[in-house]
Structure 1
Amino acid sequence: MQSPGAPVGAPGEFVSYTRAGGVAVIRLNRPDRLNAASPELVTDFKRAIERAIAERAVVAIITGEGRAFCAGHDLKAEALAPDSPQALDHLHQLQDITRLLRSAAIISIAAVHGYALGAGLEFALSCDFIVADEHTRFGFPEVSVGLSVTGGISFLLPQAVGLPMAKELILLGEPFGAERALALGLINRVTGPGRLLPVAHDIADRLQQKPRHALALAKESFESALRSDVETAMALEIENALLTGDSTDAEAARTEFATNGQA
């Protein structure tokens, strides 16, 4: 039997993958380049998320090896010709990561430190929770270096911070710290030294205690609402309420709540 926390195989050279129970830990593993998002790392990252979903992990914790979570696109790597099939495939892979992380199949927690810039911040913002070390630096430097944002951020960022602030963050591209990210509503927690992964695992443990079917439907309701009008969102809420009412795990959760005197 696989021991808790032991490696269960790596999706590729630039990402490591472990799973203990219902929690998968996906670690970007290119520390010599601050986990910059080369095509190879992006491909490995996508495969790791797909593996976590295939293994029915409840939660995936996404983090980075070394001094950074992810410092964005690797500007020193061999440039792909903009009109090449390889460049187009890389862009699609980036957006596939967004789709996978935002699907109802898994709950994701980004545990970020050092730098979460460009594509790295886009990876984090595709997750359901972001926990950040207090010294993390955030930013969208793409426009400043002649690139464009990817990963659906042109849609997702205004939803999080409003259109005027989204324009400021992307068009000016100025870096900012964890406390400002928290004030803007971009992240959920700021942690002190040595607390990043313990806090992420605490959130993961609490999520695992929830009825899985209800978690998935609640997440899907949010994602659907972002893509629809209020009437469509309310119709889906009714549909999901009927589905959760019939589930076995929901009945068990209600019994526990009643036993403990909680409302």
Structure 2
Amino acid sequence: MEWETIEVAREDHVAIVSFNRPEALNALSTQMAKDLINVLGYLEEKKDVWAAVLTGGKSRAFCVGADLKERKNMDTEQMKRQRALFVKAFKTVMNFPKPLIAAVHGYALGGGFEFALGCDFIIADETAVFGLPEVTLAIIPGGGGTQNLPRIIGKHRAKELIFTGRRISAPEAAAWGIVNRVVPEGELEKTYRELMKEITQNGPIALQQAKRAINFGVEVELDTGMAFEAECYNVCLTTEDRNEGLRAFNEKRKPVYKGC
């Protein structure tokens, strides 16, 4: 399948999802939001896709946030409809049930930073720049920035970044715990391919259940989280992949998982 503003490539059990508006530094347009929702919905249903990477493709930016040129001629009702669509796109990223990693090259600003924050974690190269500049335009982050960023780095540091609208480099983002790892320019693609190969050698159902357990568990008190973890574990317990994992361990060979 093809989409107007998103490119999707497949490598074994991995989908590489790339924003494809390089002429606009991958600014988030109405069409790009629609395409992203449709792409992730399509990949969610593909049983042979076990994990995905979100990238900026060939652009010198990951995503610079909302396309303000598109927005300048909108009336209030059109803007409200677009905002609802954008919120749906951000939630689609956050709720994607399979591992979804952001690989950031260049600018990740506003909604672009929020898309990255909505992924399971971020890797970046040395060119990456992160920021939530919305207050400089008299608005606030509206794609989860005020919610996801404090959960990652604490509310005080999040307030500093959001209140100032300041941009930070990849090394600073890594030091603050926003980015998992920073690699030299030109090595990002190699790095995420190696990382996704490492992830997808594992049981795909187990990956999804581990993600569910973590995402739900961090929002509740410990006993409830432990009970939910047990439910997620039990989902894995009755799968053929679990039996294959045990057989492979005892036969001292690499398991062959099928996602069932």
TM-score computed with the length of structure 2 as normaliser: 0.89
Aligned counterpart for 1:167 among listed residues 159, 171, 194: 159
Shift of 1:203: 1.3
Shift in Å, 1:259: 5.0
Residue type at the aligned position of 1:74: D
Match of 2:212 in 1: 220
Say yes or no: does 1:107 pair with 2:82. no
- 1:201 is aligned, of 178, 190, 193, to 193
The structure 1 residue matched to 2:36, chosen from 17, 20, 45, is: 45
How many Å separate the matches in 1 of 2:69 and 2:54? 24
1:147 counterpart residue number: 139
TM-score, scaled relative to structure 1: 0.88
Kept in 1, the 8 Å contact 2:71–2:79? The answer is: no
Of 45, 61, 68 in structure 2, the residue corresponding to residue 54 of structure 1 is 45
Amino acid at match of 1:71: V
Flag the 1:237–1:16 CA change in 2: closer, same or farther, 3 A: same
Does 2:6 align with 1:20? Answer: no
Q: 1:40 to 1:104 in 2, by over 3 A?
A: closer
3-state SS of paired residue (2:68): coil
Deviates more, 1:228-237 or 1:123-132: 228-237
Query: 2:148 — aligned with what?
Result: 156
CA shift, 1:193, in A, is 2.4
| 1:191 partner amino acid | V
d(CA) in 1 for partners of 2:10, 2:216: 29
1:164 CA drift (Å): 0.4
Amino acid corresponding to residue 46 of structure 1 in structure 2:
I
Distance in 2 (alpha carbons) for counterparts of 1:158 and 1:141: 16
Give 1:89's aligned residue: 81
Alpha-carbon deviations, 1:115-144, whole Å to 9, x = none? 001100001111112110112111110111
Partner SS, residue 157 of structure 2: helix
SS of the aligned residue for 1:24 comes to strand
Count of equivalent residues: 252
> Identity percentage over the alignment?
33
CA distance in 2, matches of 1:80, 1:59: 38
Counterparts in 2 of 1:175-190, with a 5 A limit?
Answer: 175-190=167-182
Distance 2:16 2:70 in 1: 27
How far has the Cα of 1:260 moved from its partner?
4.9
**Stretches of structure 1 lacking an aligned partner (at least 5 in a row):** 1-8
CA distance in 2, matches of 1:193, 1:127: 21
Q: Which residue of 2 aligns with 1:116?
A: 108
Structure 2 stretches lacking a partner, 5+ long: 254-260
Q: Are the structure 2 counterparts of residues 165 and 34 from structure 1 closer, same or farther at C-alpha, using a change threshold of 3 Å?
A: same
Distance of 1:255 and 1:97 partners within structure 2: 41
Instruction: Decide whether the 8 Å contact of 2:97 with 2:212 is kept in 1.
Output: no
Q: CA RMSD in A?
A: 2.1
Query: Aligned residue for 1:3?
Result: none
CA distance 1:162–1:240, shift in 2 (3 Å): same
